[in-house]
Structure 1
């Protein structure tokens, strides 16, 4: 079943997961208002990226139905953050990697989520996005490097602020890798600091998922 799960995290917050199996054509025809989504599709993407994009919209609508039967189209703001045009008070975050697609929807506040395939690339790129303390904590564990990256992506999406330097402005406290848990992250801006709890789980040995919710995001 492509729709893997719909998990209420709170009365106003639901996490959805999709395990991608369908073709792009099948996903498009299953969406509400397929002609509008066909027009919104990013151009120049390969088939895998196209199916991930469409599955994200299908999943977002599945999560939305947990709250309302209202019709809405998922679009993006100027920073790339997705939102339902007819339901602007709803917060939405999407992510996809390989066969997994994740979506979090909240009726209040802001949300962020990220799913990552565990691979050596994150470890190789670590000097670009991890502080020295974070690199020391990650050691030689590929899964931990991928989780660090995923958690930082989640904080970035939560705030939807361009130009953040992951290595310096999004920092995570050391942690012990488990099947599921909570990480503590810090966003350091020019005139403010904020602290966030990032939930994580290992979907499979090869994939990690992170998500976070904030009632109010302060700049």
Structure 2
């Protein structure tokens, strides 16, 4: 069964994690998408990326319909952020080589990211961690992947492609076993924003939802 887990946090924030298992042939028969989405699909040349794209839309459809809402595909805004057609709810989507994660809230913007723990995160840490965050993380992989996913989720939540991970997005320290935390977004043109974070693990993959 490809469904890994479906659960609710922060009252109305629904999360679904799915293991990529279906073949492209099966997905192509079941995915609901409009013409512009299929045009986007045609630009993807790598078979694995095609599979992730198809699975992401299929799983988003499952999540939306599980909430009793009609699924009519997705559209992207001028910043490339995906939305449900007609904006009947707020969504976010992420995919890796093994898992797809989707999340939905009736009214609040949100973001989700899933990433596998990997040594490469230590190499790029100076580019996305502030000085205080580096002291907190100490190059420990579970913390590195948590901070990366949290910042990516907050970036997706903002959705305007103006934020710098190191200078504009900050993550409050997570306890090693804590599932919940806080993120802060600061930017010259907007008031300081505080957001709730939810962290989860699937094998050696870390996921974070920001709302």
Q: Same fold (TM over 0.5)?
A: yes
Distance 2:192 2:159 in 1: 15
Partners of 2:65 and 2:71 within 8 A in 1: no
Q: Deviations over 1:146-199 (max 9, x none)?
A: 110100011111111212111011011223322x51121110010420111111
Distance 2:62 2:133 in 1: 36
Instruction: Say if 2:147 is the partner of 1:148.
Output: yes
Instruction: Say if 2:45 is the partner of 1:15.
Output: no
- The residue that corresponds to 1:166 in the other structure is 165
Q: For the structure 1 residues 135 and 26, does the alpha-carbon distance in structure 2 shift closer, same or farther, using more than 3 Å as the test? A: same
- The residue that corresponds to 1:212 in the other structure is 210
Q: For the structure 1 residues 162 and 118, does the alpha-carbon distance in structure 2 shift closer, same or farther, using more than 3 Å as the test? A: same
Instruction: Say if 2:138 is the partner of 1:139.
Output: yes
TM-score, length-normalised on structure 1?
0.88
How many residues of Structure 1 are paired with residues of Structure 2 in the alignment? 210
Which runs of 5 or more residues in structure 2 are unaligned?
none
- The residue that corresponds to 1:188 in the other structure is 186
Q: For the structure 1 residues 188 and 97, does the alpha-carbon distance in structure 2 shift closer, same or farther, using more than 3 Å as the test? A: same
- The residue that corresponds to 1:198 in the other structure is 197
For residue 37 of structure 1, report the CA deviation from its aligned partner. 4.7
Q: For the structure 1 residues 130 and 11, does the alpha-carbon distance in structure 2 shift closer, same or farther, using more than 3 Å as the test? A: closer
Distance 1:74 1:115 in 2: 20
Distance 1:194 1:35 in 2: 37
Distance 2:42 2:166 in 1: 30
Partners of 1:94 and 1:113 within 8 A in 2: yes
Deviates more, 1:23-32 or 1:100-109: 23-32
Which runs of 5 or more residues in structure 1 are unaligned?
214-219
Q: CA RMSD in A?
A: 1.9
Distance 2:42 2:141 in 1: 31
